[in-house]
Amino acid sequence: MNDHEHSGGPLRHFRVDRRTVLQSLATGVGAVAFASSASAASAHVHQAAAVTADSAAAINPESGLLFLDRHAFDTLALLSEQIVPGSRAVQVPEFLDRLLAVESIETQQQFMQALGAFEREARAANGMPWKALSAEQATALLTKISTLPDSDMSRQAFDRIKGAVAETFYSTEAGRKELGWNGSMTFAPPSACS
């Protein structure tokens, strides 16, 4: 196990093998350089919710979502864009929906609890779900949550969602270009820097 995997990066709970991720990507999200991070613990594949694109689409055929319901997806889509602008354009929420569909039940529950923390914060502060907040309300709430102590559950939810969104976004071509990639130079993975 390399240092990046051992350090428990932001997607440490998203542990599926390369084949599962590539099959998920082949269903239309688009290729991102995510499989190498996700292949850290292929032993967890047996624990994963092994959902194929066809059987998952049968669960929620009208939406095209594989794991998230429409409300959770809309919340994640808004959060993605608010945390890392440009996430919607490269389909970060769609990718995370597909990845969650093949994840372990434990990881699915942790992700849903993190989304639920944002819902609780929005309802407590403004009496409405996250997706109904104005841009100003969402920004104020994100600022509050992101500055809470690390031990706070809402802060932990923020870190988990932010980590998943950011790592997915910066694995895309648009994200790499934002970091200075010019198409002719490839950067070493973070684990090579330690």
For residue range 43-95, what is the model confidence (pLDDT) as tens digits? 333 233 333 333 333 444 456 899 999 999 999 999 999 999 999 999 999 99
Query: What letter would DSSP give residue 187?
Result: P
Quick check: 48 and 61 in contact, CB under 8 A?
Answer: no
**Is 138 in a helix, a strand, or coil?**
helix
Q: How many beta carbons lie within 10 A of that of residue 162, not counting itself?
A: 19
The candidate with the shortest Cα–Cα distance to 143, out of 68, 190, 82, 191, is: 82
pLDDT score for 180: 76
Question: What residues have CB less than 8 Å from 94, skipping those under 6 apart?
Answer: 29
Angle (CA) 175 84 128, round 5°: 155
Provide the β-strand partners of residue 104. 48
For residue range 103-142, what is the model confidence (pLDDT) as tens digits? 999 999 999 999 999 999 999 999 999 999 999 999 999 9
Stretch 157-184: mean pLDDT: 84
Question: What residues have CB less than 8 Å from 186, skipping those under 6 apart?
Answer: none
For residue range 61-74, what is the model confidence (pLDDT) as tens digits? 456 899 999 999 99
